[in-house]
Chains A and B, each alone.
Chain A
Amino acid sequence: MLVKEIIEVLDARLLCGEERQDYGVEVAFASDLMSDVLTLKDDHVLLITGLANMQTIRTAEMSDIHCVVFARNKKVSPEMIELARENDIILIECRYSMFKTCGLLYGSGLKAIY
C-alpha cells in the first residue's frame, strides 16, 4: 500500500516525507510498545502508534521502518520531525483512534504481521 493511499484512506495529514509518497509498505504493526516493535523482522513495515516521542522515531530508525502513522491527533514535536527527515522516515498524523485507523487500513487490504 502506498503512502499516498494511506493518507487518503485515513483522511490524514503528512508531516514529512512529501517527496516519498510513492513509498509502499507491505505489512503493518500497531503498538505503543517500542520493545515489541524492535523485535520485528519484516521489511517495509508501517508502524501505527499512539506514542509520540523521540524514541518512537529512534525505534523506527533502528528497525528500518520508513513510515509511521500517529493515531488520535498525537502531538508530534519539531524535533521529532527533524530526526525523521534525517532518517528518511515518513510521518503521518491522523485524527482517528487507533482502532479505527487499524480497521480502515486492514479493510483496504493492508496485511498484519502476526
Chain B
Amino acid sequence: MHFEYNIEGGDFTRAGYASSQVKKLLKKQGVEMSVIKRTVVAAYEAEVNVVAHAYGGVMYVDLDDRQMRIVLQDTGPGIEDIQQAMEEGYSTASDAVREMGFGAGMGLSNMKKNAHELNIESEVGKGTRVEIIMQIA
C-alpha cells in the first residue's frame, strides 16, 4: 500500500494531519499499540519539522505486512550540520514556532529513540529527506 500526503510549511492548524492518517492506518492493520505510538510520534515530529522549518513537503507512506516506511521530503533551507541538529536542545525555531509549543530541540533525538531506523539526508538551500522505518510485525 502506498499513500502520499502534502504538508504545508507554516500551517500549524493542519500539522499532524498526515501522522493522524498513519495512526488510523496502523490501527486498522491491528498493529500493536506500543509500535503504533512509536511510529506516529516519530512521524509527527518529522511532520512538525517540515511545518516549522521548511517551506513545504510530502509524506510518503509505504506499508506491507512486515514494515512501514515513511519518507518526508521537503523543500526548504536544509540542515547544514545534521549531527549538531540531532543534539538535544539544539534548535533554530522561530518565536512563532515556540508559541505553538515546539522548538525545544528535542524532535530529532526523539525520532531517533522511537524509530527502528532513521535516515536523514539534507542539502543546504534545497531541502531535507527524512526516512523512518518501522518493523510492524
Contact = CB atoms under 8 A, between A and B. Distances in A.
Interface in A96-112: none
A32 B101 CA distance: 6
A54 B20 contact: no
B106 A35 contact: yes
B41 interface: yes
Given A51-B101, A61-B16, A62-B16, A39 B40 contact: no
A63 B110 contact: no
Interface string B68-106: 000000000000000000000000000000001111111
B3 interface: no
B5 interface: no
A2 interface: no
A58 B110 contact: no
Contacts of A56: 101
B120 to A, nearest CB: 18
Nearest to B109: A39
Q: Is the interface of A mostly helix, strand, loop or mixed?
A: helix
A38 B110 contact: yes
B115 interface: no
Interface residues of B, number: 25
A31 to B, nearest CB: 8
B126 interface: no
A36 B104 contact: yes
A55 interface: yes
A64 interface: yes
Nearest to B12: A55
A54 B16 contact: yes
A73 interface: no
A64 B12 contact: no
Nearest to A87: B20
A53 B12 contact: yes
B48 A39 contact: no
Contacts of B53: none
Contacts of B19: 58, 62
Interface of A: 32-36, 38-39, 51, 53-56, 58-59, 61-64, 79, 87
Interface of B: 12-16, 19-20, 23, 33, 37, 40-41, 44-45, 48, 100-107, 110, 113
